[in-house]
Amino acid sequence: MLKALENISAFYANPTRFMALARQVHRPLWALAIGVLAYGLYRVAYVPADYQQGDSVRIMFVHVPAAWMSLFGYSFIFIASVTALIFRHPLGHVAARAAAPVGAVFTLLALITGSLWGQPMWGTWWVWDARLTSVLVLFFIYLGYIALWQAIDEPTRAARAASILAIVGFINVPIVKFSVDWWNTLHQPASVSRLARPALHADFLYPLLIMGAGFLVLFLALTLTRMQMEVLRQRLRARARKGEPPHV
Amino acid sequence: MRIFAAICSQHMHLSWRSGQTMLAVSFLFIAITLLPFGLGPELNLLRALAPGLLWVVLAISLLTGLERLFQADYEDGTLDRLLLVPLAFEAVVLAKLLGHYLALVLPLILAVPLAGLLLNIEAARLPVLLAAMLCGSPALVLLGGIGASLAVSVRRGGLLTVLIAMPFYVPVLIFGAAAARAGLETGVAVGPYLGILAALSAASLLLAPFAIAAALRSALR
């Protein structure tokens, strides 16, 4: 199993092979993302209004998956950076760089929808509650990571610095999480993680999981498109160095 | 060991001579002076907020000083030479961090009681606040060093350094301010908070020199 994975990853270390695969996967992936999201939204439209929160509970179906994706995105960047730094896989840096703005936007979306949801529920746009605060800090971690990529001109140097930051930052995330949790907790405890008996009613749970799957596929589709762009950008740069015309 | 001491004391001398220490301490007092203009001169309010404000001001003063940690040495080529020193590069990094700590951070912490006086803090609170700062500040310098080393090849990378280092400062600030708050309320033990701060410093001491050395090596390549 591991050996097979190793072979596959070694095969696609060649950017040309990766681009060939990406060209084939790209459209089905986008179609799947749009399809799952559309079905999820359809289900969300028929979810009964919550007996306490009314229709504003529907924000949850965007807010919670966006929050999942903010964490998934950073884990993705971490794994890609480890692959790049330790196993020297050439696509690792490309994947990490491509995923960063996507993850950052999902984090921002979680913050904004959280704020919109908090207004009717808590009566204020923002509270310094533990989870809001740690997601805000995560957003700043994303921003620092993206800014580092942009600030260093030389590509290999930028890639190494960014992967070091991704790894150190990944260790930092749980520490921030626990210290902020300890600092202040008002948010309801995670209600989906208890898989055996979720605190969420099935009427809410299944649309939420469908939306979560939709967001996941959307994340992968966006990242794949951005990876293709990144590989093309590298080729353009290489051509410019050789003084060739920029058509691909 | 002699080389370690030499690098450390050289960094300290340069900080002193170039006036960085004076500048950092002045920055701390300027920030403290600005606070009453923003918050109003009400002494009771300032007294209640003082421990938290002092922690935040200390952290910001540290962040503004981070840029000088490696940047000058990177630009004039000293860092290239330091790679050749017969000492693990991680130890060289640690020597520079220690020099930075002694030259910049310790004076800042020593200035805190005076700054606290301006904010009308109770004298009884000061020992706990200082103990918390002494336990937590090594972590601030070590983690800040990660930001400084990653941004070292960026010209005028000061703001980038701050953006990178800020998320790492959150846990230290939380427990630092908690220790300072617990110091006043009788019956709340301060020990555990100081322990957590010291643990954060110890963990950073294990991790940061390797990350910083790796970042500097890749910048020098």
pLDDT confidence bin for A187, thresholds 50/70/90:
very low
Find out whether A107 and A139 touch, Cβ atoms under 8 Å.
yes
Task: Quote the CA–CA distance of A25 and A19 in Å, as a whole number.
Answer: 10
Residues of chain B with Cβ-Cβ distance to A143 below 8 Å are 163
Distances (CA, A) of B105 to B3, B21, B28, B65, B133: 22, 9, 11, 9, 10
A vs B, Cβ pairs < 8 A, gives: 70
Find out whether B119 and B35 touch, Cβ atoms under 8 Å.
yes
Residues of chain B with Cβ-Cβ distance to A136 below 8 Å are none
pLDDT at A185: 54
Strands (E), B9-156: none
Q: Cβ contact (<8 Å) for B174 and A168?
A: no
pLDDT tens figures, B94-131:
999 999 999 889 999 999 989 988 888 888 778 888 88
Bridge partners for A54 per DSSP: A50
Residues of chain A above pLDDT 90, percent: 37
Q: Specify the number of domains making up chain B.
A: 1
Q: Side-chain half-sphere of A40: how many Cα atoms within 13 Å?
A: 26
The minimum CA-CA distance between B178 and chain A, rounded to whole Å, is 9
pLDDT confidence bin for A1, thresholds 50/70/90:
low
Higher pLDDT, A179 or B144: B144
pLDDT tens figures, A82-114:
988 888 888 889 999 999 999 999 999 999 998
Interface of B with A (CB under 8 A): 146-147, 150-151, 153-154, 157, 160, 163-164, 166-168, 170-171, 174-175, 178, 200, 207, 211, 214-215, 218-219, 221
Q: Mean pLDDT over residues A195-212, rounded?
A: 74
* Tally of CB atoms within 10 A around A87: 12
pLDDT at A132: 83
Q: Residue A159 above 50 pLDDT?
A: yes
pLDDT at A199: 64
Residues of chain B with Cβ-Cβ distance to A164 below 8 Å are 150, 211, 214-215, 218
pLDDT tens figures, B25-83:
999 999 999 988 988 888 888 888 888 889 999 999 998 888 888 888 888 888 888 88
Task: Quote the CA–CA distance of B4 and A210 in Å, as a whole number.
Answer: 58
ipTM: 0.87
Query: Residues A74, A78, A83, CA angle at the centre, nearest 5°?
Result: 145
Higher pLDDT, A247 or A163: A163
Nearest to A164 among B150, B154, B163 (CB): B150
pLDDT confidence bin for A244, thresholds 50/70/90:
confident
At A49, is the secondary structure helix, strand, or coil? Answer: coil
pLDDT tens figures, B196-215:
899 999 999 999 999 999 99
Pull the structure tokens for residue B102.
Answer: 């002694």
pLDDT at A189: 54
Residues of chain A above pLDDT 70, percent: 90
Domain coverage including residue B142: 2-220
The answer to which of A146-155, A234-243, B23-32 has the lowest mean pLDDT is A234-243
pLDDT at A125: 83
pLDDT tens figures, B163-185:
999 999 999 998 888 888 776 66
pLDDT at A186: 41
For B41-67, the DSSP string reads: S-HHHHHHHHHHHHHHHHHHHHHHHGG
Query: Residues A184, A189, A194, CA angle at the centre, nearest 5°?
Result: 150
